[in-house]
Amino acid sequence: MLIAGCDFEDSCEAVALSEDFSQFGLYASIGIHPHESSRYESIPDAFSRLVHDTKVVAVGEIGLDYHYDHSPREIQRKMFEAQLEFAEREKMPVILHIRDAMNDALAILSDYGGLKMLFHCYSGGFKYLDDVLEFDSMCAFGGALTWPSKGLGELRDVFRKIPLERILLETDSPYMTPVPFRGKTNEPAYIKHVYDKAAELRSMTVEELASQIETNAKEFFKWE
């Protein structure tokens, strides 16, 4: 299991948690989320040290979020590129948060084609799927798979058709709470409900799917 950092403080917290709960196979990523980009002039200096912690297996969440625009787009792009360069230098995979910004994100990512990329909460539909799969990439899916909304039919279809070896599952807690806990705060334990729905959509048993996801995660993050 991986806990993702979204700013300097919770990147440090993710690393500390991954050490405290090491016996459960917890790992961490460090990154500055697009929402938080405007709080930083550049990547925190301490990241250069933190990235070498044995529990850190990726740089992220990094990316672009034009849905909320909590940071100006120009600043989001600058921080995104700086962190892609950092990941390239450190030979680390990246965890991408991209919302309503796929065109700009793909244009930037095309300069970093050697990176391993995880498209967290993949929401690009069939429109962007081929471009995304061209990269050395995984797509992660979460609670939205379980939501009843008809508008999510395409997301479920994408999930049914994407190659099995390119899938990871996530909670995105505290957000995106799966059925039957919608309206409550999401937590990692609810991943079970994502697995149940995902296995149903792929016509697999939960055990078969879990084994595949474990293989995918090991392949992507190179953890033990």
Residues that bind Zn ion (CB under 5 A): 61, 97
Residue 205: CB minimum distance to Zn ion, A: 29
> Would you say 62 or 167 has its CB closer to Zn ion?
62
Q: Which residues contact 108 (CB under 8 A, 6 or more apart)?
A: 64, 77, 80, 81, 84
Work out how close the CB of 67 gets to Zn ion at its nearest, in angstroms, rounded to a whole number: 11
Q: In what order do the strands lie in the sheet with 167-169?
A: 2-4, 27-30, 56-65, 94-99, 116-120, 136-141, 167-169
What is the closest distance, in whole angstroms, from the C-beta atom of residue 107 to Zn ion in the complex? 20
Q: Cβ closer to Zn ion: 63 or 224?
A: 63
Considering the complex, state which of residue 97 and residue 193 has its C-beta at the smaller distance from Zn ion.
97
* Residues whose CB falls within 8 Å of the CB of residue 214, separated by 6 or more in sequence, listed in order: none
Q: Measured in Å, how far apart are the chain's first and last C-alpha atoms?
A: 11
Shortest gap between Cβ of 96 and Zn ion (angstroms)? 9
Give me the least distance between CB of 121 and Zn ion, in Å please. Answer: 6
Residue (64 or 209) nearer to Zn ion, CB: 64
CA–CA gap between residue 165 and residue 131 (Å, rounded): 17
Which CB sits closer to Zn ion, 22 or 116? 116
Task: Find the helix or strand (DSSP H, E) in which 75 lies.
Answer: helix 73-90
The closest residue (CB) to Zn ion is 97
> Least Å distance between CB 191 and Zn ion?
16
Q: Which is nearer to Zn ion, 10 or 61 (CB)?
A: 61
As given in the structure block, the two tokens for residue 155 are 């997301």
Residues in CB range of 16: below 8 A, 6 or more apart: none
Q: List C-alpha distances in Å: 173 to 11, 177, 181.
A: 15, 7, 12
